[in-house]
Amino acid sequence: MDDITLQLLGSCIATIIPLLFVYIVIKDVNSRYILLCFCWGSLVGVLAYIGNSYFVSDIGQIGATTNVAPIIEEILKALPLLFFLRKKSYPITLLIVYCALASGVGFSIQETIFYFSMSAGMIGDVVALIVRTLTTSLMHGMSTAIFGIGLLMLQNQRYILLPVIFGLLAISESIHSLFNLLLPTRFSFIAMIIPIVLYLMGLIMIGNLSDKTEVKENSD
C-alpha cells in the first residue's frame, strides 16, 4: 500500500469510527441514515482514489480527471441511495436528498484533505483550501443530491426505473466533469459558480417539495 492510499485510509478510519459511536447514541432513524451516508462518502474517497489510479497511467491525469473520475465517483457516491428503492410500495421522502448530500460532502472532505496534504502548507494554500472547500464540497454534494432529487420526483415511474437511474447518473457525471474541465482554465470562475447556483436551486426545490409534502399530509 502506497503512502497516499495509507494516508487516505487513515483519514477515513479517523472519520468513520467516531461517527459510528454517534450513530449508536442517536435514536432518530433519519439521522442515522444521514450519518451512515456521510460515512460511506468518506469511504468512497479511498475507493475512488484506488479506482482512478488505475486509469492515470493509461490516459493521463487530465483524462482521468475529466473522463473517468466523474463516472467512478458519482456511481460510488450514489450507491446507498438505491437502498430507498428496495420496496415498490415504500415512499421515497426528502430523506434521500439529505443522504445524497451527506454522501457527497463526506467524499469531498477526504478529497480536500488529500489535496491539502500535497501542498506546501503556505498561507496561499490555506486560502486555496477555503475556496476549494466552499466550492468543491458543494459540487460533490449537489451532484449526488441531483440523483436523489430525481429519484424522489420520479419514484412513481417504476416501469422506466433503469433508464431513470442511468439518466440521473449521466446528469451528475456531466456536471462533475464540466466542473473538473473548467477549474484549471481561465473560466475557473464559472466552475466555482456552478455548485453555488446548484445549491441555491436545491434549497428552493427542497422548500417546494417540503411544502407539497405538508399539504398532502394535512389533506390526508
pLDDT number for residue 68 = 86
- CA–CA separation, 170 and 56 (whole Å): 22
pLDDT number for residue 117 = 79
Mean pLDDT of 59-68: 71
- CA–CA separation, 195 and 99 (whole Å): 18
Say if residue 89's pLDDT is above 80: no
Considering the chain, what is the average pLDDT of its residues? 86
> Nearest Cα to 72, choosing from 56, 92, 96, 94?
56
Instruction: Tell me the Cα Rg of the chain.
Output: 18
pLDDT number for residue 114 = 83
> Would you say the C-alpha torsion 160, 176, 5, 128 has a positive or negative sign?
negative
Say if residue 143's pLDDT is above 80: yes
pLDDT-based confidence at 40, cuts 50/70/90?
very high
pLDDT number for residue 183 = 85
Say if residue 28's pLDDT is above 90: yes
pLDDT number for residue 216 = 54
Q: Which DSSP letter does residue 89 get?
A: T
Distances (CA, A) of 206 to 108, 145, 148, 195, 199: 22, 11, 11, 16, 10
Most confidently modeled of 23-37, 81-95, 176-190?
23-37
Q: Which is more confidently placed, 206 or 209?
A: 206
> Nearest Cα to 50, choosing from 109, 120, 114?
114
Which pairs from 30-34 meet CB under 8 Å and 24+ separation?
A: 30/95, 30/98, 33/95, 33/99, 34/95, 34/98, 34/99, 34/102
pLDDT number for residue 214 = 54
pLDDT number for residue 145 = 95
Say if residue 215's pLDDT is above 60: no
Please answer whether residues 139 and 178 qualify as being in contact, where contact means their C-beta atoms are separated by less than 8 angstroms.
Answer: no
Give the model confidence (pLDDT) of 92-136 as tens digits. Answer: 889 999 999 999 999 999 988 888 877 777 788 888 888 888 888
Please answer whether residues 99 and 34 qualify as being in contact, where contact means their C-beta atoms are separated by less than 8 angstroms.
Answer: yes
Find where cell 439529505 sits: 98
Q: Percent of the chain, pLDDT > 70?
A: 90
Say if residue 88's pLDDT is above 70: no
Say if residue 210's pLDDT is above 90: no
Q: Which DSSP letter does residue 204 get?
A: H
Rounded to two decimals, what is the model's pTM?
0.89
Mean pLDDT of 65-84: 90
Which pairs from 189-196 meet CB under 8 Å and 24+ separation?
A: 191/135, 192/131, 192/135, 194/139, 195/135, 195/136, 195/138, 195/139, 195/141, 195/142, 196/135, 196/138
Give domain limits for the chain.
3-209
pLDDT number for residue 87 = 67
Which pairs from 80-88 meet CB under 8 Å and 24+ separation?
A: 80/36, 80/37, 80/40, 81/144, 81/147, 81/148, 81/151, 82/165, 84/151, 85/151, 85/155, 85/161, 88/158
- CA–CA separation, 134 and 112 (whole Å): 11
